[in-house]
Amino acid sequence: MSLLRSFVQDADARDPLARFRDRFVISSGSIYMDGNSLGRLPSSAVARASELLEKGWGEKLVEGWHEWIDFPTQIGDQIAGLIGAGKSEVIVCDSTSVNLFKLAMAAVGSKPHRGAIVTDSANFPSDQYVLHGVAHQTGRELRRFESDPIQGPDIGSLAMALDDDVALVSLSHVGYKNASLADMEAITRAVHDAGALMLWDLCHSVGALPIDVEGCGVDLAVGCTYKYLNAGPGAPAFLYVRRELHDQLRQPIWGWFGQREQFRMNLDYDPEPGIGSFMVGTPPIVSMVGVEEGVRLILEAGIESLRIKSIEMTQMMIALHDEWLAPLGVELASPREADRRGSHLAFRHPDGYRICKALIEKLDVIPDFREPDIIRYAVAPIYTTFTEAWDAMERLRTCIDEELYADLLEDRDRVT
Q: Does 34 bind ligand PLP (CB under 6 A)?
A: no
Query: How many Å apart are CA 296 and CA 147, to the nearest integer?
Result: 35
CB atoms within 10 A of CB 303: 20
Known catalytic residue: 124? yes
Q: Does 204 bind ligand PLP (CB under 6 A)?
A: yes
Q: Does 200 bind ligand PLP (CB under 6 A)?
A: no
| Phi, psi at 331, each rounded to 5° | -120, 130
Known catalytic residue: 201? yes
Q: Does 238 bind ligand PLP (CB under 6 A)?
A: no
Extract long-range pairs of 51-58: CB within 8 Å, 24+ residues apart: 52/285, 52/286, 52/289, 53/286, 56/285, 57/286
Q: Is the Cβ–Cβ distance between 404 and 363 less than 8 Å? A: yes
Minimum distance from CB of 172 to ligand PLP (Å)?
5
Q: Does 97 bind ligand PLP (CB under 6 A)?
A: yes
Binding test (CB under 6 A) with ligand PLP, winner from 73, 119, 172, 334 = 172
Residue 212 DSSP one-character state: -
Minimum distance from CB of 123 to ligand PLP (Å)?
7
Q: Does 240 bind ligand PLP (CB under 6 A)?
A: no
Residue 275 to residues 241, 285, 385: CA-CA distances in angstroms? 7, 19, 38
Catalytic residue among 140, 376, 395, 397: 376
Q: Does 126 bind ligand PLP (CB under 6 A)?
A: yes
Query: How many Å apart are CA 287 and CA 297, to the nearest integer?
Result: 16
CB atoms within 10 A of CB 146: 12
Catalytic residue among 24, 124, 228, 278: 124
Window 129-158: contact mask with ligand PLP (x via CB under 6 A): ------------------------------
Query: Please, what is the Cα angle at 184 between 183 and 187, to 5 degrees?
Result: 80
For ligand PLP, the closer of residues 24 and 101 by Cβ is: 101
Binding test (CB under 6 A) with ligand PLP, winner from 134, 224, 241, 313 = 224
Summarize as ranges the residues that interact with ligand PLP (CB under 6 A). Answer: 95-97, 124, 126-127, 172, 176, 201, 203-204, 224, 237
Give me the active site residues, please: 124, 201, 226-227, 376
